[in-house]
Chains A and B, each alone.
Chain A
């Protein structure tokens, strides 16, 4: 028990003193996960809409792949990205391995299936006649997409939360493609693993609490937006 209480006390001290390293790691974590989530939304929502609204050969296969991707182990994604970005790999010349960009790519691949899957389910639940009405009002395809996003904002915000949650909580892939380099690619999850391994439980607890509070604040904001009753 003392170990846990010591950890919580140390966490409070680190927060209170504004520990520079913790702040730096927190900001990097936020930046990498936010970038990955934003990219996942930009790519995933239109893809989800296409899968929800169009019927084409191979659609079932793609939907099955998306559903599989929603439960993809991060280490598998990490391995895949590492193989591609490895210095002798197909994109090795880009020198991205062990960089924040590589971590963004890995987190993007983890959150993308979630965003596509949630978007697909939300848009598919819209009354098809309402979509017909959008076309009938003279909307072009981008306007229809915008109206659908607006109409399914509750479900799509769930997609944002799921995507961001997958990105920020992920550790395996970030280790594999980021390398947990101090001052460069160390994020809250990888730092927690490192400190736990070293037996620095108080620091690990502090980092974990920061991670949990960060995830909570972001989700609190998204929930507030999601639960707003009327948007005119």
Chain B
């Protein structure tokens, strides 16, 4: 729990409507100071709506937003001048790169010399100093995104609002951009709200996570907690916990699901109570032979699908269906193909238990 002085932005009882329908409802959300809060959720979950409300460009039907305890809408222009924003689209104006980066400073009445200094500095920091005189329309997607981020940092904001700023650039560009961004962020430490749907981005950049589903805040916590310990089935599905099995607690730390016995170190539900057992696919280790560890499930390979750097396999053990992911090297070493028998090993620490309300 963050103490009050560590909370920079507060959202209370927020309701945003569109066409008379509630598209975002958040009872309480605290944004910690100088940390990166990643806002994650599926499309249409209200992530961008939340950002729009914080930017004061969307007008909530109800609720209060405060910055350092002061209502944000008391003086919207002043509030916005304490913040910066960057989006998936670079949204540059038809002017030179330098003029684009100087623009927020010009809006704030910063003198020409200082503007020029800051623009040059931030363009250099993002590795695009050589592009200063170029027109914004002549940039590649990656360059434009760097300009957009340089512009966001140039005004030295207290709060940075970012809406999928890396989603529109190709993979190699994205990788180096995130690297530079993470380094700059760790030096400058503005309070940052980063909307993303990318798990790696959330884990790499986030100190704190807030997960939205269907316009509601479903879980907050450290990003690893949200991804590894989902609060309910919907969260589990979104964060990619594809193995969600209905079961019951049979004894202390032991659960039964589809006839399979699984041990878990997770916080227990009551004895005999229904539970959802969640295991991430990459947490299942495949082996040809059994050993002495707990949770070893003998299964048959039903399907094999390569997926980027990993191989994804669908396994069956009686009525239990498992999805496992293994790096290519490990998969090749196993030499498995459809129909083969395999041992799926799951550490009890990787079996997350959710009380099953259904």
Contact = CB atoms under 8 A, between A and B. Distances in A.
Pairing of A with B:
yes
Interface of A: 127, 129-130, 132-133, 135-140, 143, 147, 150-151, 229-232
A135 B107 contact: no
A155 to B, nearest CB: 12
Interface in B41-62: 52, 55-57
Interface string B18-59: 000000000000000000000000000000000010011100
A12 to B, nearest CB: 44
B91 interface: yes
A135 B94 contact: no
B57 A136 contact: yes
Interface of B: 52, 55-57, 77, 80-81, 83-85, 87, 89, 91, 93-96, 98-99, 103-104, 107-108, 133, 135, 151, 155, 161
Given A138-B80, A138-B155, A133 B95 contact: no
A135 B135 contact: no
B81 A138 contact: yes
A130 B93 contact: yes
24 contacts: A129-B89, A132-B91, A133-B85, A135-B57, A135-B80, A136-B55, A136-B83, A136-B161, A137-B80, A137-B103, A137-B104, A137-B107, A137-B151, A138-B80, A138-B81, A138-B104, A138-B107, A139-B107, A150-B95, A151-B93, A231-B94, A232-B95, A232-B96, A232-B98
A130 B57 CA distance: 12
Contact of A136 (B84, B96, B133): B84
Contacts, number: 63
A127 B91 contact: yes
Given A132-B57, A137-B85, A232-B133, 6 more contacts: A132-B91, A137-B80, A137-B103, A150-B95, A151-B94, A232-B95
B98 A129 contact: no
A133 B135 contact: no
B95 A231 contact: yes
Contacts of B95: 150, 230-232
A207 B85 CA distance: 57
Given A132-B57, A138-B77, A138-B81, A230 B96 contact: yes
